[in-house]
Structure 1
């Protein structure tokens, strides 16, 4: 081991990120030493636009020279504002409090996003706009790459809805549910991908499939769909830079082709219906004849809302196997996964063409041991269906839906089903785990494990209240209650940075805030805005991220929102007591009479509201 070493270089909490939205990103590093009581005394950052030997300074490199500081997190990038698609290579050297100087670290890099789009939003004319459940279109474009050495290749992509991108038949990324859940009225994220490993000389094909997602699918418990728009649309732009200085650009436009495929619908609340008999082999690969496919439609939709991706992607985190197949008292076949999880099933199945596999999901069994779904309510069918094509062996897992469950009920199946045929795929935002707790009491240790599982299930791009029924909303009150615990378990700073930007975009001119973010409510019995504790998330959440991670920028960025909420609440007070507004109070507290239908706790709402006002102020 080296006497003193700098390692784990990051930018905006991420390792070698590309497509950064920030013009002045922050840098992070760690140090390790064979000695004890060692702290950083000085640092220097060496950076360049090119991957050169930064140990040998030249006119292509910049050097901050030694800066006296023990700071190794949230260090502002010392260069100027980043240009479009600018890549910066950087290294760090430090001196410790005993005078030891480290070697210069291994290089890291970061890359800014794209500033100006040339692509157009495109859609399939075959997809209806007036149906809640609609098929997922396939879109493709063939293009040629000359016999030249590629220096860098990037795909910039987004969707109104959800998308999955392919290049030459391969998935471009393992990221799920892109472009993410945001306030689509104000901002739509785009993602940046490195295409270098998949491109080849000659014909290449960029392709995508689309789902309704949060943008146009069933969302929330009010039976709403097409909340943000009725058109599923793709935005795609490829930049290929060659060593000779030339560039090839491939944009989504009306030259793309489209067809419907095997996904008859894939909806976050309602599940997926997949008909393997409608598969189109090779549709996303070169050498496929798309002359019978329809032309896409260029949509006149704004590009002004686009922002670079922020935070970690939703990913497949792990797979688990079921522990038993049971027959319930109601004579139903039920699979027990042995763990309440969020994700879906991956199934191996055999049968003849036209046979169907269908199953739905639940978190618990009732007291008799039967499948229980009453808690899911009417706007979450939570059912996946697969129609076989008749191959010797087939596999199914959905594309644009997820479920919260431990139990799976088999509704239709061609023959017997075995435990080995079933795998549970667990998904959530790929946050880095930073804390753990266990002790001599197994019940307390298990409680901590349950908390972690609950966080994994509810941190899927936004912090939700539940991952299973027809809600799955970013309730602000839930987020502020849990954020400190969540920030012990995982690095939540990138996750909450993204979500708080949506909260700020939803704030009214008078400073009032919605109770869910993104805000899709409006037809409820209570107003979609207001309420102490819920609105106080605008102050508690940024402060907690600062307190846990030392992130001053989140305070700087959200300070206007924080002040505006506090001033709004102040305007509703009489003698410093909160009055004259809707409040949830001590929501769902158990101190109401047993026969009371109310969800409001027994504590006076004004008392709860005033307590939060004092805390936030």
Structure 2
């Protein structure tokens, strides 16, 4: 039996208010027939059937007449394998939005006197008198600021902080709401609350507000269709009025101050304000919503007598508080923070962000308090002004309502917790734009962070529409010379010097989106932006290398002092030139995909690679600055001239990892690459050791400290429970979680081999540290999964491939095999075998099972110390016999008892 899922339009299910007249169509197949392969399809639009001779089922071009503004269509599909046809899918509906500025009769309006900076949030209102016979109604709306609409006292839609944040000078999203059920014959009251949001609130650390303008404004157009076919349009104009709300103050950083007592407000006129309607765009991805509610797990008193609440998870959103028997004038204050410090609310990392919601209450038997014009990043809250219990408190989780598409599990609970932390870090920071952090006075769309994290993001959630709209903002904010801002949307206004790894998001993120979703459209739209970036950095080269000038480098290398995150081990010129090579290669490959001439960029990539080798690599494979990040770059991006150089570079990277006691030695740039570099160099065991280390700095150190999201710094919290003294410390930053992509591809073994997972590579890399691991992912073609288990001397591998896709499976110890869709299973001898007795100190360091015993034994005799310290002390002796290590360390530390350990040491080594 073969069936198809309902059609998707672009990257959305049954969208209302789509922004294109010719949406591409996608569907998935369900079949029990292993020989089924789509050869053709028929698409039916409201009775018009078009046959397409193609095996493609992802982003198929629209075969019908283009949609007109407001036009609605129902589309279904059936597919053929030769002469065998499936049943028709269930129909999916699509409705076009307002596709032209000419479709808007409404104009932006703003209160004449109310609603200024520092004034209460205004409500703009209009009474609408409607006839009988309403059959459908749409509200198209956007704002300068953020808005929340109500019709007849009922909320319109479930979106939060609409219209979201885009590059407002160039692009402003509007929303389409079906409000048919909210209207009735006669008088209807339409009220829209306006808040400061990103438009007029504080942005960035300098404290500046009103980046985009000092007046809030609303654009709204209500269109009502009657049974007789007539349509009535009511848009914002001078007939609307304004009044103050009970929201006395609102800011994304500082929180919301709300007075719930009834109060009379003067009615103000509104006036039309000039604003281009040509900026208006429809959403490409899902909106921001409240996606989950987490109950409080504990309420207690701090040493200072404060009431503290723990929600058990670092989240983004706000607190919902239920109170009973309140009195008029009672004030309740909620402060938010991610951590506790000295058993009190740890607010220092927030810098100037107040993150405080205040409520002035009225007499009420019961009231539920929550804000609607702000958000906070927090795990803990402090409540003053009311006695509360855990049952009356909950954390409302807010973020872009992305569809979950990827999962990972394994036998190590700490590693599973780390993956959980990566997921929650993404959930919190993917709030309309991919922000760096969601809690302090920043929350900006840093380009470097998403550049390194986009592969992980595309596995965990469907980011196709989310990142395509962000990339459109990147291109809009890109400077005339091709430079890319550090943050998008750009609130630094072109003051960002060009920086490698950050600006490279212009090339890397579109390419990742293409590889993960098979979307050539995003490449075509971003191609000029990609070229402009590479042309810009090529213009900065001297003798082929990009040297000098400002760079972030390997940002937040763990060796950097708390107050100097730039001070990385990796030379910034090496980092910059490596990124030039990579981005030039991406643009060249993009040109080939699009059928354009990319020869200039092929030559640039080749010349830049030669220059990198000439300037930064010795004949023996040493890379300038001798840091893990520079070796990872050189190995993963093929920046070495010979196999011998590669062999020596791989060996040196491995030795650096050993010498550091398997503690992490990379920052934002090197962290996504170092485990891949070790794996491709034939040392996945060292990659596992690096990943599974629990001492600081490491990926699992925050887990050992109770973290529920990924931290900005490897040591955002110090072992004694105090917060890192650096001025810039966040406990919810996703960048260092980019290693999860390696976990999906190498630990579990699930990776795309062709755009959109049309072909899949299954290549698990098992290790003695784990007994099982699995990953599954909702690809554009359907669910793919890989699961393996080591048990009883056997290794069992199970693979699922969706119809329309195929996989190349690398079963350990066997030749790779090609498989089609369906479920597949193999059982072979366990490829993980005990390591031989260590001959050298290097072998001993590599011996994951023996090393902890060696550490304990040496420490017992006064040598070494903790695992990392001992590894550093042993590093000069890597090539010496393991049997001599105790004596060698005793020579370094004569006060130690090396000779006393010889008998036990010999027994340990077998």
**TM-score w.r.t. structure 1 length?**
0.91
The whole-number CA distance in structure 1 between the counterparts of 2:154 and 2:84 is 48
Matching residue within 63, 67, 70 for 1:82: 67
> Does 1:46 find its partner at 2:47?
no
Matching residue within 338, 345, 360 for 1:363: 338
Q: Which residue of 1 aligns with 2:390?
A: 419
The whole-number CA distance in structure 1 between the counterparts of 2:581 and 2:147 is 44
> Does 1:574 find its partner at 2:546?
no
The structure with the larger Rg is 2
Give how far 1:222 is off.
1.1
Matching residue within 237, 250, 274 for 1:253: 237
| Maintained 8 Å contact 1:261/1:278 | no
Counting only pairs closer than 5 Å after superposition, residues 208-607 of structure 1 correspond to structure 2 as 208-278=192-262, 293-350=267-324, 351-366=326-341, 368-378=342-352, 380-410=353-383, 412-414=384-386, 416-521=387-492, 527-592=495-560, 594=561, 597-607=564-574
1:3-54, Cα deviation, whole Å (9 max, x unpaired): 2211132111211112111232111111212333433221011113xxxxx3
Aligned-partner SS, 2:408: coil
1:165-200, Cα deviation, whole Å (9 max, x unpaired): 111111111011111101111111111111112221
Structure 1 residues 182, 529: closer, same or farther in 2, change over 3 A? farther
Give how far 1:82 is off.
2.7
Structure 1 residues 308, 597: closer, same or farther in 2, change over 3 A? closer
Q: Which residue of 1 aligns with 2:575?
A: 608
| Maintained 8 Å contact 1:137/1:210 | yes
Aligned-partner SS, 1:501: helix
| Maintained 8 Å contact 1:138/1:258 | yes
Give how far 1:595 is off.
8.0
Aligned-partner SS, 1:577: coil
Structure 1: tracts of 5 or more residues without a match = 49-53, 55-61, 281-289
1:465-501, Cα deviation, whole Å (9 max, x unpaired): 0000000000000011110001110010100011000
Aligned-partner SS, 1:36: coil
The whole-number CA distance in structure 2 between the counterparts of 1:202 and 1:371 is 52
Give how far 1:123 is off.
1.4
Q: Which residue of 1 aligns with 2:170?
A: 186
Structure 1 residues 326, 559: closer, same or farther in 2, change over 3 A? same
| Maintained 8 Å contact 1:536/1:616 | yes
The whole-number CA distance in structure 1 between the counterparts of 2:177 and 2:391 is 35
Structure 1 residues 423, 598: closer, same or farther in 2, change over 3 A? closer
Give how far 1:596 is off.
6.9
| Maintained 8 Å contact 1:513/1:565 | yes
> Does 1:140 find its partner at 2:125?
yes
Higher relative contact order (CA 8 A, sep 6+): 1
The whole-number CA distance in structure 1 between the counterparts of 2:315 and 2:87 is 45
The whole-number CA distance in structure 2 between the counterparts of 1:5 and 1:307 is 35
Structure 1 residues 389, 223: closer, same or farther in 2, change over 3 A? same
Q: Which residue of 2 aligns with 1:286?
A: none
| Maintained 8 Å contact 1:182/1:188 | yes
Give how far 1:80 is off.
3.2
The whole-number CA distance in structure 2 between the counterparts of 1:326 and 1:505 is 49
The whole-number CA distance in structure 2 between the counterparts of 1:434 and 1:391 is 44
Say which structure is richer in helix: 2
1:211-267, Cα deviation, whole Å (9 max, x unpaired): 000000111111110100001000000111223221101111111121101100111
Q: Which residue of 1 aligns with 2:106?
A: 119
| Maintained 8 Å contact 2:6/2:91 | no
| Maintained 8 Å contact 2:337/2:347 | yes
Q: Which residue of 1 aligns with 2:789?
A: none
Say which structure is richer in strand: 1
Q: Which residue of 1 aligns with 2:10?
A: 12
Q: Which residue of 2 aligns with 1:64?
A: 50
Structure 2: tracts of 5 or more residues without a match = 585-910
Structure 1 residues 118, 393: closer, same or farther in 2, change over 3 A? same
1:280-331, Cα deviation, whole Å (9 max, x unpaired): 7xxxxxxxxx9x6332222222222111122110111110111111222232
The whole-number CA distance in structure 2 between the counterparts of 1:83 and 1:608 is 49
Structure 1 residues 149, 230: closer, same or farther in 2, change over 3 A? closer
Aligned-partner SS, 1:75: coil
Aligned-partner SS, 2:407: coil
| Maintained 8 Å contact 2:286/2:400 | yes
Aligned-partner SS, 1:234: strand
**TM-score w.r.t. structure 2 length?**
0.62
The whole-number CA distance in structure 1 between the counterparts of 2:378 and 2:201 is 21
The whole-number CA distance in structure 1 between the counterparts of 2:125 and 2:134 is 25
Aligned-partner SS, 2:212: coil
The number of residue pairs the alignment matches comes to 580
Aligned-partner SS, 1:578: coil
Give how far 1:108 is off.
1.2
Q: Which residue of 1 aligns with 2:701?
A: none
Give how far 1:204 is off.
1.4
| Maintained 8 Å contact 1:9/1:108 | yes
1:392-436, Cα deviation, whole Å (9 max, x unpaired): 1111110110000001012x213x211111111001101111110
Give how far 1:206 is off.
1.6
Structure 1 residues 596, 336: closer, same or farther in 2, change over 3 A? closer
Greater Cα offset, 33-42 or 232-241: 33-42
1:28-86, Cα deviation, whole Å (9 max, x unpaired): 111212333433221011113xxxxx3xxxxxxx2212x22221110111123332212
The whole-number CA distance in structure 2 between the counterparts of 1:496 and 1:73 is 18
> Does 1:34 find its partner at 2:32?
yes
